[in-house]
Amino acid sequence: MPPDKARSTSSKVPSRALGIDVGGSGVKAAPVQLKRGVLQARRKRLATPKPATPKAVAGVIEELVAAFRWTGAVGCTVPARVRDGVVETAANIASQWIGTDAGAMLSERLGRPVAVLNDADAAGLAEVRFGAGRSHKGVCLVLTFGTGIGSALFAQGRLVPNTELGHLHLEGRIAEHVAADSARTRDGLKWSDWATNRVQPYLSRLEFLLAPDLIIIGGGVSRGDRWAEFGHLLKTHAELVPAQLGNEAGIVGAALAAQALATARGPRK
């Protein structure tokens, strides 16, 4: 159940959860204090196995849970569309994930319920709850620029799950192949050229389609020194701001999903 749809069935709502963020190059984890959305310990990172099969990644996740000696709620992101715990796509992870009930697999592996959700949705949930989108009531679009482009769309604070707006076509090409931060690096572009010629047309396309009130730019490009290089060059009708939680957003969002799952299930018998 998505965190924004959870309904309490017990007064015992977890105040902490372990958030795990699976990426193409690394798997990051940390315990999260859920009242304020802050990490309670320094995050740990292990390399994503190659190939990143479900079994191999589950082993890394189990290692991280053990490293924190964690016995409570667990949430996990994957770079894929996820519906009711089942993975439907695979980006930067092995194709064997497609059709895998990741929620059931990880729950069995760890011996407890595990909430699984899309990585960009998790980052968006964290930003809307604790970051740049906090208390915003209109249409909010969170975009993460990295290896690809992740997206999370909110209406009146409620998540529209599993949007894949990085896969829109832009001038005959897939948008993230043109406008992701990896494309900037690959093509040797200056920040200004990337912003003006790649990101701006992409944002204009999204504004035409969705008319958001707020756009939050996340991923590594939202870091202060990087944002200063290009943020002022982007022109949108919507308010445009950098994300506030940085690389912790996925972990925090995963922990929120774990809290929602535990709350929906009620106390253990």
Query: What CATH number is attached to the domain comprising 183?
Result: 3.30.420.40
Beta-bridge partners for 160: 153
Q: Is residue 96 part of a domain?
A: yes
Q: Are residues 97 and 142 in the same domain?
A: no
Does 154 reside within a domain? yes
Report whether 211 contacts 155 (CB < 8 A): no
The type of residue at 85 is G
Alpha-carbon distances, residue 218 vs 11, 78, 238, 242 (angstroms): 34, 17, 16, 6
Number of structural domains found in the chain: 2
Structural domain including 73 reads 3-121+248-265
Would you say residue 126 lies in a domain? no
- Of 143, 148, 230, 243, nearest to 189 by C-alpha is 230
Question: 150 and 115 in one domain?
Answer: no
The confidence score (pLDDT) of residue 25 equals: 86
What are the strands of the beta sheet with 239-242, ordered from one edge?
158-160, 149-155, 139-145, 214-218, 239-242
The pLDDT, as a whole number, for residue 209 is 97
pLDDT(9) > 70: no
Q: Are residues 232 and 252 in the same domain?
A: no
Q: How many Cα atoms within 13 Å fall on the side-chain side of residue 162?
A: 14
192-197 long-range contacts (CB < 8 A, ≥24 apart) are 192/229, 192/230, 192/233, 194/230, 195/230, 195/231, 195/233, 195/234, 196/233
pTM recorded for the entire structure: 0.90
CA distance 26 to 5: 29
Looking at the fold, whether 91 and 146 belong to one and the same domain comes out as: no
User: Residue 200: inside a domain, yes or no?
Assistant: yes
Within 10 Å of residue 122's Cβ, how many Cβ atoms?
A: 33
166 shares a domain with 73: no
Same domain, residue pair 28 and 110: yes
Structure tokens at 143: 């975009």
| Both structure tokens of 7 | 């309904």
Q: Would you call the peptide bond into 31 cis, given omega within 30 degrees of 0 as the criterion? A: no
| pLDDT score, position 7 | 39
Q: Are residues 166 and 101 in the same domain?
A: no
The answer to whether residues 23 and 108 belong to one domain is: yes
* Residue 69 falls in which region: left (phi positive, over 0), alpha (psi -120 to 50) or beta: left
In the predicted model, is pLDDT for residue 5 greater than 60?
no
Q: From residue 104, give the alpha-carbon distance in Å to each of 82, 130, 196.
A: 13, 29, 44
Q: Is residue 259 part of a domain?
A: yes
**Same-domain check for residues 229 and 259:** no
Within a domain: residue 128?
no
Share of the chain above pLDDT 90, in %: 86
Q: Would you say residue 129 lies in a domain?
A: no
Q: Are residues 235 and 140 in the same domain?
A: yes
Report the C-alpha gap between 167 and 151 in whole angstroms: 10
Same domain? For 236 and 256 the reply is no
Residues 24 and 11 in one domain: yes
Task: Write down the mean pLDDT value for the chain.
Answer: 93
Indicate if the pLDDT at residue 178 is higher than 80.
yes
Structure tokens at 215: 């756009």
Give residue 6's pLDDT.
42
CB neighbours of 157 closer than 8 A, spacing ≥ 6? 4, 128, 136, 137, 140
pLDDT of 60 above 80: yes
The yes-or-no verdict on residue 17 having pLDDT over 70 is: yes
